[in-house]
Structure 1
Amino acid sequence: MTGRTRRPRTAVITIAAGREAHLQRQREALSADEVDLHVVVGMTGFPRLRPVPSAPEVTPISVTAGPRGLPLAAARNAGARAAIQRGAELLVFLDVDCIPGPRSLARYTTAALDVPPATLLCGPVAYLPPPTHQGYPPPGELAGLAQPHPARPAPETGRILLDDKRFNLFWSLSFATSRDDWDLFGGFCEQFAGYGAEDTDFALRAAAHGARLAWIGGAVAYHQHHPPSRHEERHVRELVINARLFHRRHGFWPMEDWLTDLDRAEVVRFDRAHDVLRLLPEFGAKLQAHRLR
């Protein structure tokens, strides 16, 4: 979008399966002055929401979950199609458990005017502690509760850091891209279903089309606390299937820290040197014991 002067018509795309309280907090932090559309993709029915006058109107769509797990990749693609059909020029993907910080969406849209074509815009993600019985404070006060994740770049507010190397650091929790670049990159691979690896696959395929990353200072998303999904039995099954698919497509293993952790807990057998990944017998009981420690 380099060379443009007006703010692009912007859509936030959120995929959801339950977590109505998370989504409600997200909507309360969205400003209709910064976002034109909010496309919410229900994967297990559409969530019930209370009106938020200051937020953009919700455009609801739904996709059907299959036996392999929640269709995260297909839901993001469906959300993007719906947003583009409604005239969106900038697509901002924000997971249901993320609260945008003040002016975070404005920083995405401003940065989109300055970055070169074929760019994935990535804002910092900060993980919140569990909420008190009163919930979380307003978005403007969340910075005091959580710092951006130390493993990913977090430039100063207003600074854009271009990067054509660290695609393994891309997270689908919070990112943006132009409509034209989305078409160029081809969206998420819908062979992935359920939990894990679909976002790294997307980033690597974007890189193969000449993409770069742009780390956007100040476009922070605050991740609301919940138990780690990868410790659920059904998600471990999905993670193994998706990791094997990723390995066939790219020749190396994704999520190595997680797979190593599960190997140590005797939930899976993960041998990087011999390209082995499989579930172990009675892995559910082992997973439960590991989770309780």
Structure 2
Amino acid sequence: MTRPALNVPRTAVVIIVHGRHRHLQRQLLSLDGLVTADSILHVVVAMADSDVAQLVARAADGPVDVAHRVVVELPVGEDAELPLAAARNVGASAGLEWGADLLVFLDVDCLAHPDLITDYRAATHGGRASTASRDPEPTHNPDAGRASAASRDPVDLTGPILWCGQVSYLPPLPAGVADYPLIDLDSWSAPHSARPVLPPGAIQLTRDVRLFWSLNFAVTARDWHASGGFHPGYRGYGGEDTDFARGVAARGGGLGWIGGAAAFHQHHPTSSPPWQHLAAIVRNAHVFRDRWGTFPMEGWLEAFAAAGAIDYRPDDGILELTADPPPPHD
């Protein structure tokens, strides 16, 4: 793995994956189209998925220098739960070892806007001084009460900042259409209704980290070290994002919502609450409570409890499975 010239900005894009091979192929194509002066390293962390290395090697036949794309293999424990938190840490370490001064974390389901890196680079260079008096208010779904909190608390932050780009959602591909048109994703997609949407170039800082998610965010190398990274005690789905953001807030940091750095989430079937992850969510909720004193993912836990799958009494610190969860699946 070659290092770029010392005077060239270095960005590592970290992707963690198990399965989702078609989504990864499309994502790598979108990353090939990034418009930036940065030297880019794509770090693909394959969690117990030996097919990823070959897929990435085939993608390297395109316009991207193979030296700037690396696959890191990460095994899965005996419980077969994907080590999502540990995988992000491994990807970050690979990027930092290469010399990255900016880390961009992109969910494997997300396609990158051509200006993704340029927008993140602009925010990290001048965003710490941004305040509500200088930036327009974000728009959001008025029914999404938690989202409004992020727009009411803009402040200067002294700790690490997690820069959050826009995430829009793509519909299912119509019959007969093989791929999303990478040059026209804006017209195909709609922003998430419960996240702030800012005008292009605007920045909004907040100490309220409750809306953080890892689908699309960036952090400088310095702030990554200051954040402590993701807690490796989380295994499987749920809680690791919330814990990471909580740790950032505890260190005097917060979120930086930006107008731009857009990613487009490819459609796939979902369930809410995510029943296939019930056991992992319950286990990880206990990890979070042991660290922070409260249970996270309240909406999902309440839904599981209403369905009779768990005994959930947060005031008493009780959270237990009451029914066998369905077998895990992708």
Which TM-score applies when normalising by structure 1? 0.88
Paired letter, 2:41: L
Deviations 1:120-144 (A, max 9, x none): 1001212222223423422332222
Contact 1:28 1:54 (C-alpha < 8 Å) held by counterparts: no
Task: Please say if residues 119 and 181 of structure 1, whose CA atoms lie closer than 8 Å, have aligned partners that are also in contact.
Answer: yes
For the pair 1:145 / 2:149, whether they are aligned, the reply is no
The answer to whether the 8 Å contact 2:161/2:219 transfers is yes
2:169–2:191 Cα contact (<8 Å) kept: yes
Give the Å deviation of 1:255.
1.0
What's the CA shift string for 1:24-67, capped at 9, x where partnerless? 11111113653510000000134123325244632111111113
* Structure-2 residue corresponding to 1:60: 71
Query: How far, CA to CA, are the matches of 2:319 and 2:267 in structure 1?
Result: 29
Is contact 1:90–1:178 with CA below 8 Å preserved after alignment?
yes
Instruction: Give, as a single letter, the amino acid of the residue that structure 1 aligns with 2:251.
Output: H
Q: Within 5 A, what are the aligned runs for 1:186-225? A: 186-225=228-267
Mapping for residues 1-293 of structure 1, pairs under 5 Å = 8-30=9-31, 31=33, 33-34=35-36, 36-46=40-50, 47=52, 48-49=55-56, 50-51=58-59, 53-55=62-64, 57-68=68-79, 69-116=81-128, 118-132=160-174, 133-164=176-207, 166-228=208-270, 231-233=274-276, 235-284=277-326
- Gap change, CA 1:7 and 1:169, over 3 Å in 2: farther
Question: What amino acid does structure 2 have at the position aligned with 1:107?
Answer: D
Deviation at 1:256, TM superposition (A): 1.0
Q: How many Å apart are 1:251 and its aligned residue?
A: 1.4
SS in structure 1 at match of 2:320: strand
* Unaligned residue ranges in structure 2 (runs of 5+): 1-6, 129-157
**8 A Cα contact 2:34 2:113, kept in partner:** no
Offset from partner CA, 1:142-187 (integer Å, 9 cap, x none): 22232211211111111111112x2010001111000011011111
Give the 3-state SS of the residue equivalent to 2:210 in structure 1. Answer: helix
Q: 1:20 to 1:9 in 2, by over 3 A?
A: same
- How many Å separate the matches in 2 of 1:269 and 1:143? 43
- Matched residues, number: 280
- AA aligned to 1:51 is A
The answer to whether the 8 Å contact 2:170/2:189 transfers is yes
Contact 1:10 1:90 (8 Å CA) reproduced: yes
Taking structure 2 as the reference length, what is the TM-score of the superposition? 0.79
How far apart in 2 are the matches of 1:197 and 1:270? 16
Partner of 1:3: none
User: Does the Cα contact within 8 Å between 2:278 and 2:325 map onto a contact in 1?
Assistant: no
After superposition, what is the alpha-carbon deviation per residue over 1:54-111, rounded to whole angstroms, capped at 9, x for unaligned?
4463211111111341011111001011101101000000011111123122211121
Aligned in 2, Cα 1:283/1:61: closer, same or farther, shift over 3 Å?
A: closer
Unmatched 5+ residue regions in structure 1?
A: 1-5, 288-293
Aligned-residue Cα RMSD (Å) equals 2.2
Give the 3-state SS of the residue equivalent to 2:230 in structure 1: coil
